[in-house]
Structure formats: C-alpha cells, structure tokens
A and B are shown apart, each in its own frame.
Chain A
Amino acid sequence: MQCDVLVIGAGFSGLMAAVTAADRNKKVAVIAEGKGNLYAAAGFIDFLGYYPRLAREPLKKTTRALQELITGEPEHPYAIAGEKTIREAFAYFSNLMAAIGYPYYGSWEQNRLLPTAVGAIAPTAMVPRTAKPHLENYPKVLVAGFQEQGDFFPFLVAENLQEQCRQFNLPTEIEAKWLELGINITTKEINSFDVALMLENKEIRERAIAQLKKVIKPGTLLVIPSVLGVYRWPEVLSSFEETLDCPVMEIPTLPPSVMGFRLAEGLLAYLQRKHVEFYWNCEIKKVDTASGECRGVTAVAVNGREIYFRARNYILATGGVLGGGIKVGVTDAEERVFNLPVHGDIRVHDEDFFANQPYAYAGLRVTPRLQPKDQQDRVLYRNVFIAGRNLYGYDPFAEKSGNGVALVTGYLAGALAARGS
C-alpha cells in the first residue's frame, strides 16, 4: 500500500491532518484502531479557556494570554505552531465546516461562555450553529429537557446555571420545563442521540414545540440538550426557532454526543469525497526506519496478515495516554508506534488533585516542524509529524485547550506532510 501521507489515528487531530493533506491533493490513508473521542466529547473547539491555568475567571480575550504563553512556554504546542499558523488553522477550519454544511461560529481570539450538561459555565472558542447564541445576551432563559431521556435534568441545569450567572454578574433569569415526547420505549434508556433521531420526525417534533409554545415568550433563549436532529439538524433547528420565535442553544450531554457525532461524521464524509481510505481495526506492529527517516510501517489486518504501508510522510495522531498512543507504566511511559521518548513526569501528584498536575504535560517533544526530537534536540525522524494529544508541554484540562491544540497541530502536521512530498 502506497500513499503520500499516512495518518495514524482517527481522532480530531488525525482527521484534521487528513483533511488538510487531502485538500492539498495528496493521496492520504488513515490507519486507526477505532473511532476517536469526538463521539463522546462536546464538539466545541476550546482554544484557551484559563490562563494562568489556575485562574478562577475564564479568559475573555485570548490574544494577550497567547503572547504570554508563547514567550513564557516555548515548548507549548501553541508556541511551536506560532500565532500565524493558529490564525491560518482556525480560518481553514471555519471554511471547511461551512463547506461541509455544519458551520462553526466564534473565534479563537475571544471566548464565549456556554453551559455544560450540569449547568456549569465553561469558556470555549468555537461552537456549531446549533449552539450559536451568546448566553449573556438574553435576560430570560428557559432550560427544557425531555422526561423520557434518562440523562438530562433541566431543573438541575437551571438551578446551577442561575447560581453561575450570579457569579458571573449576569442578570439572567432562568426557568426550567419538562417536555414529553409521548413515545413509550421499554427496550432501553433513552439518550440524547435517540431524542435527536426522534425529533427528525415532524410529528414528534411538533408535539414538543407545542408544549414549549405555551410557556415560552418570544425572545427568550431556549436551552436544550443536544437533540436537534442527528442528520437533519437544519430542519429541526429552524422549526424550533421559527415556530417559537426564540433563539435555541444546544448544550452538550453525556455520551454519545450528538454535536461530536455531527462534527466527526462531517469530516469523515468530506474525506470520503476525497477518496481517503480508512483501515479500521488495524494495529501497527513495527516501523521501518533508517537514517533519520521512516520508510514504512507494518500493520496487521484483522486476519493477522501484515500490510506494509509506504508513504512519503507520516502523521502520528494516536491520542496520548487517554487515546492509547502512549502507554503508561508505574514509573515510565512509552510511545507505542515509533517508541519515541516520552518527556515529562508521568506521575499523578496526590497532594492537591486540583493543583497543576505535571503528568498532564507529559508527551513527545518536537521541532518547530512537529518532527519528534530527543533530549538533545536532535530530530529523530524527519518525515514523521506529531499532532494532538501526543505532544508535550500543555495541560488541556486546566487550560481548556484540547481541541484547539488538536485543530492547530493537526492542520500544521497535515500541511507540512503535504508540502514535504
């Protein structure tokens, strides 16, 4: 099997890298052990929520904090990419998602505040069309949930959100309302994915809208779990907004995540149109490297036979510790594909769990071109590019930067891998 760019991993950074390289007319293939975390995550693009990391207040504007970060932490992935690349990557993503038909709104330079599944307020940079309204613009908010759904509680969300709004000095008034789908399902617990599928049905949807119509005043912001259609979200969203004359905002739910699904499947459909091949359930067994280059990788297919992949450039986007790309032992850690050195302290410090945890920073050190390097800063493989959570030097949990780093470094790795061939 031969291609220009071989992407290893199908999470957000891997898919971004694949899209970027495919858009530059390269023959791209993706090897993955399974589908990535997007299906379980919010589907928002965080960029930099908190800086300094232990600040209580989320950042409003991020530009100055980014400058500080770039000067103060030269090994942070954002510092490695640089502001110009960050700007390019986000612009590319905006255009891409518009072309895919699931547009994103917002900018990396300015955070928006969004309620979480339990009504906490969290900062994020970009959101899909279904979560577009700004919470702070609406004096009245109605949180609605469906009684049949087992994992979303509008009164809990409303109560927490009211408390949070007080803390953020927002004069918002929040109410809650249970809705009924009128569907009796006894075979399983209903999750947001199910409700989203059901609301694609006009009759069920109109029943839900009619219940809201009785209680909601035009101009109120309707906050609803992420259930506005899996595929037909434009139709579902507009029928809510138009019939009620209210803006509607979806908020993330427990997995499976509908907003994450739309983002992931949108990228996959785009890659399908570009003839990008996927090797699912495929594990890499060994790599063929010589004189500072990767010449090929050997993967094992489901039948146990080896497939040799020869590419000009390789992108390693295997998702760090949580994604399975880095395997952690008691005192050490190893990168599973190329056996690259893992830098940083991998232990969890238990004195204060909420303090800065050094383990979050552990990962692979790279050159400005995202090539892996050793402790003496020597490039290990010049045609291998590292993207996403494998990278050293950032704490996505404390900073709220996970998808932002995946987007920026996925884009950069894809662009570099396309240029190099």
Chain B
Amino acid sequence: MKQLEKMLDFCLKCNICYTQCPVIKKEINFPGPKYLGPELERQWLVGGNAGDYKAIQELSYCTNCQQCNLACPHGVKPAYFNLKHKSSLVLPLKDRARDWFLANIYIFGGLGKTLAPLTNTFLQAGLLRGLFENVGITGQRPLPMYDRRRIKVVAGDKPSAKKAVYFIGCYASYFDTGVAGATIKLLQHADYQVEIAPLKCCGTPLLSNGFLKQARRLAEINVARLLAYLDKGYKVVTSCPSCALALKEEYKEIFAIEGSQRLAAGVWDVGELLEAEGIKAKSPIEGGVYYHVPCHLKAQSIGLPFARMMEGTDNLLINYEWCCGMAGTFGYKKEKYNLSLDMGSELFRSIKESRYRYVITDCGMCKLQIEHGTGYQVLHPVQLIEKSLAH
C-alpha cells in the first residue's frame, strides 16, 4: 500500500467525495470517504497503531462502490484508504465469522453447483434461514439459487486467430450461467476462440470485507495464470464489472503485484471488446430498455459500451445516477439489509415508473437487488444483445 502514500498530499479536504457517497445519503452517522480514508491515513502515518489512530467501526459501512475515487479532481482514491483501514478493524468474532463466510462463498460454489437441487432446497429451507439469521445474515432477502447447468464452450467450425480467455467470475459461474453462455456466444460471434481457464475468485468480496491478505493470495494466483494466457496472445475478458475492476485496477493499485500492470492493460470488459469489434444490437429491441449502470463499470473509465451498441433503440433509459445499494455481500448482512434497500429506493422507483419491458445491468449483485426491490426480471446486456442478434 506504500504506493498510495504519494497521493495523500493531494487531498485538499474539498469534500467533493463526501457528496458522492451513497451511504451518507441514507445513514447520516457514516463519517464518509474523506474522514475514513485520507484523514485516518494521516493519523496512522503519524504514529501507526501506537498513536491516536483507531480504525473505527463505521468503516464496515463503506460499500467499496468507489464513487469517491471517481469524484476526486486531484487523483486521490479515498476508497483504497478505506479498504486498508477496514483490514485493521477489530470486529466482534461473530461478525468477523459472518463476513468471512459471505466473502468466501466461492469456496462452496463448485460443490453447491454440483449438488444444486439439494443445496437449493436446503438453502431455502426455513431451518437454515433461521440459522443464518442468527449469525447475522438477513432472512428477508432470498438467497441466489445455484445454477446447475455447466458452462461449455462449443468450438466454432472455423479456427480463428483472435483468442480470448474468459474470466467468468463467481456470480455467472455458480448462479447465472445464462450470462456466461451469452458472453461466450457473442465472443464467438465476433470470431473469438474462447477458452475458460481454471481461475480463482477475483477477490472483491474479500477485499470489501477487509480480508486483504487472503484477497492478495487469490490475486497472485490469478495474475500468474492470466499472464500465461496474455503471453500467448489472448485477451482477458470478463462479464462482471467488479471482477474487471479488480483485474484492471485493484491488483496493481492496492496490491502492486508483479506483472499486474501488464495484466491490467490486457483485460477487457465484454462490452468494451464487443463494441471495439463492431458488434451492435440488430433487430430493434421493442418495449423500452432501462439500463442501470453499475458503479464498478463507471469506475473503469470506458464509458458505456453497451449503450453505444444499443444506439437507435427506442426508449433506452440510462441510469448512472442512482446506486442500487446492494454492494455485494453488504446487502446480505442483517444490520445493513434495510439500509441497502433504502439506498436503492430511488432506483427502484425510477425503474417502476419507466414501465419498460427490459431492465438490464452488467453486475450480478445489482441484478439481485433490483429483482428483489422491484419484482422485475433483470438481464445482463449480453443476454439482450444476443437475443437481438438471434432474431
């Protein structure tokens, strides 16, 4: 984290980041990015743990949406300091255990998927939900169902020089293989030879929960494996904005892992790559499309590739203003459940008012939250584009 120190002097305490924090707007006790980030870091630099520095409990309310990072006109990234301080937070053992469990869902992913009908019945059963409630996982939000379907790449008939390794991410791997299927089809449509590599979770849930060391270990494995592909001329593609941001920015900015800089430059968000390949939605999409832009997509500084691909669609409504409030594991925590829904309330209202036929978003977590908050079915943009091309 040494590399972050040099940006500290650029924080003028102008508080622009403060106004962009979605948590403050609904939880007035939250001290906000400036205080929890750069200011706490200054205190820490003075005396470390021996001085006045104390990581405060409110840090666990930072959702790691990183909108503060985007707001700073001076290049400071308050969210990274927040993450750093979060990792030295001393939480009650019960909360720590609950956070660890939520952040490590990937470990159970493969097993849960293989035994899908069983695990799903088990997970939805009242007994287990009651148990979860006891350890601090809300019983009011449905747990995602394991998706039993296997993700396969059916090789195209003609060989191609364009090669992509697909970083599927936990959400599409275990809970929504339809996203992975559509992504693979579209990449093949753009003449890519697609390969799926044995990769680890990107580490974002661990990072957001303050398990920095464990996240780093996953990151190191991913960097090493993906660099091998990069060296063979592959492009690294993701369909999850949070995985993409981890690979594109966090591995190098937070962990400074050797080779992460080179890897970052070879990572593509699926929309970014498809748009660069000239793919566009074909048959007109009728009935209106509401596109919720996830925070970690905004943070990649690639604009809105899927919106460009859908140009000409009647009634395309883009929202990059309202947060969905889910923030990954955040929304599953019992004490944060109501806040999470409250943070998403403006988005839910706006979606319901639009009465559009399709609601799309790139992020699996935003999807779960919007479905829970509005009752609408939500698709990944790749699913809508693929559907339009199939007609």
Footprint of B on A, CB under 8 Å?
1, 29, 33-37, 39-40, 183, 185, 187-188, 191, 193-194, 197-198, 230, 255-256, 261, 265, 268-269, 272, 275, 277-282, 299, 301-305, 307, 323-324
Contact = CB atoms under 8 A, between A and B. Distances in A.
B117 to A, nearest CB: 40
Contacts of B308: 277
B102 interface: no
Interface in B62-121: 69-75
Contact of B70 (A29, A34, A39, A198): A34
A280 B77 CA distance: 13
Contacts of A34: 16, 70-75
Nearest to B320: A272
B265 interface: yes
Given A268-B321, A302-B248, A304-B264, A35 B20 contact: yes
A34 B249 CA distance: 17
Contact of B15 (A1, A36, A255): A255
Given A34-B16, A307-B302, A272 B28 contact: no
Nearest to A304: B265
Contacts of A37: 73
B53 interface: no
B321 A269 contact: yes
B31 A197 contact: no
B384 interface: no
Contacts of B15: 39-40, 191, 193, 255-256
12 contacts: A35-B70, A35-B71, A187-B56, A188-B31, A191-B15, A255-B16, A301-B301, A302-B248, A302-B301, A304-B264, A323-B73, A324-B74
A256 B14 CA distance: 7
Given A197-B25, A281-B70, 14 more contacts: A34-B72, A187-B58, A193-B19, A197-B28, A269-B321, A272-B320, A277-B307, A279-B302, A282-B301, A302-B245, A302-B299, A302-B300, A303-B247, A324-B73
A307 B302 CA distance: 8
Contact of A256 (B16, B70, B265, B302): B16
B321 A272 contact: yes
B35 interface: yes
A194 B34 CA distance: 14
B227 interface: no
B267 A303 contact: yes
A301 B300 contact: yes
B94 to A, nearest CB: 22
Contacts of A299: 301
B202 to A, nearest CB: 14
A239 to B, nearest CB: 19
Given A39-B16, A272-B321, A302-B248, A280 B301 contact: yes
A351 to B, nearest CB: 28
A299 to B, nearest CB: 8
Q: Tell which of A197, A261, A281, A324 has the most Cβ of chain B within 10 Å.
A: A281
B316 interface: yes
Nearest to A322: B73
Nearest to B73: A34
A278 B303 contact: yes
B18 A193 contact: yes
Contacts of A255: 14-16
A282 B301 CA distance: 6
B338 interface: no
Contacts of A305: 264-266
Interface of B: 14-16, 18-20, 24-25, 28-32, 35, 56, 58, 69-75, 245, 247-249, 252, 261, 264-267, 298-304, 307-308, 316, 318-321
B302 A185 contact: no
A197 B16 contact: no
B278 to A, nearest CB: 11
A29 B307 CA distance: 12
A36 B73 contact: yes
B28 A194 contact: yes
A303 B30 contact: no
Contacts of B265: 303-305
Contacts of B35: 188
A303 B300 contact: yes
Contacts of A301: 248, 300-302
B290 to A, nearest CB: 12
Contacts of B300: 301-303
Contacts of A323: 73
Q: Tell which of B302, B307, B318 has the most Cβ of chain A within 10 Å.
A: B302
B71 A278 contact: no
Closest 6 CB pairs of A and B: A34-B73, A303-B248, A303-B264, A280-B70, A277-B303, A256-B15
A370 to B, nearest CB: 23
A29 B35 CA distance: 32
Contact of A303 (B69, B72, B249): B249
Contacts of A183: 28
A33 B15 CA distance: 16
A278 B16 CA distance: 17
B25 A281 contact: no
Nearest to B300: A302
Nearest to A33: B73
Contacts of A269: 321
Contacts of B18: 191, 193, 256
Contacts of A303: 247-249, 264-265, 267, 300
A140 B119 CA distance: 71
Contact of B29 (A39, A187, A277): A187
A104 to B, nearest CB: 20
Nearest to B275: A1
Nearest to A1: B303
Contacts of B16: 34-35, 39-40, 255-256
Contacts of B75: 33-34
B30 A187 contact: yes
Nearest to B293: A272
B81 to A, nearest CB: 16
Given A34-B73, A187-B31, A279-B301, A272 B319 contact: yes
A298 B359 CA distance: 33
A140 to B, nearest CB: 33
Nearest to A280: B70
Q: Tell which of A34, A198, A299 has the most Cβ of chain B within 10 Å.
A: A34
B52 to A, nearest CB: 16
Nearest to A268: B321
B248 A275 contact: no
A197 B24 contact: yes
A10 to B, nearest CB: 9
A39 B316 contact: no
